[in-house]
Amino acid sequence: MAAKRVLVLDYGGGNLRSVARAVEHVGFQPEVTADPRALDSADAAIMPGVGAAADTMRHLRESGLVEPLRKYIQAGRPFLGVCMGMQALLSVSEEGGEHACLDIVPGRVRRLERESADGDLKVPHMGWNSVKQIRPHPVFADIPDESYFYFVHSYYPELEDESLVVGRTEYGVPFASVIARNGLVATQFHPEKSGQVGLQLYRNFLTACCG
């Protein structure tokens, strides 16, 4: 059987190597690429991300990835977005002004507030936080509810369609930390920085789409 083609999309964002190592660790061979044509024959695509929304969208446009990504995801093909790779899916980001994003998942990316009912919060939200599983999904297989994952972000997704939310986290406000629809899964946290539960999430996603 031919090896499955697992793309790690290189659009100028950070953390590519950590994601590629995580993919290798769970038994798959990652292909780091910026070539939009590679999506045509991909079995799965992972879009990691560390950076700002405006830069992310500019790099995606310059790489010619915007329309191929939209078509790939809208066709229900396996896609995992991580951190900025999740936020870029929404309609608009308020980071550094207002920036149009991929508009695959209707909603806005909003800034975390420093003040909450529990007192002042540090922004960016950096460190471990729990994920409440809102509904069952294969990506949570063998991952206990309320498991802790590693977050690094100052902005959070606010979705128009709450039915897409499969995991939720609280940091001043409750926000979607895992979303899923058809072949799409996206996380606000970094599974590759989240120890064994993060590796299990990668394993679950890739096993579901690649066997």
Q: Could you give the C-alpha distances from 15 to 66, 196, 204, in angstroms and in order?
A: 20, 18, 20
192 in active site: yes
Tell me the C-alpha distance between 79 and 186, whole Å.
8
153 in active site: no
Catalytic, out of 31, 95, 192, 209: 192
Closest CA to 202 of 9, 24, 16: 24
83 in active site: yes
Closest CA to 13 of 113, 87, 121, 103: 87
Catalytic, out of 83, 95, 101, 153: 83
Catalytic, out of 99, 125, 153, 190: 190
Q: Could you give the C-alpha distances from 152 to 12, 84, 113, in angstroms and in order?
A: 18, 10, 15
Residues carrying an active site annotation: 83, 190, 192
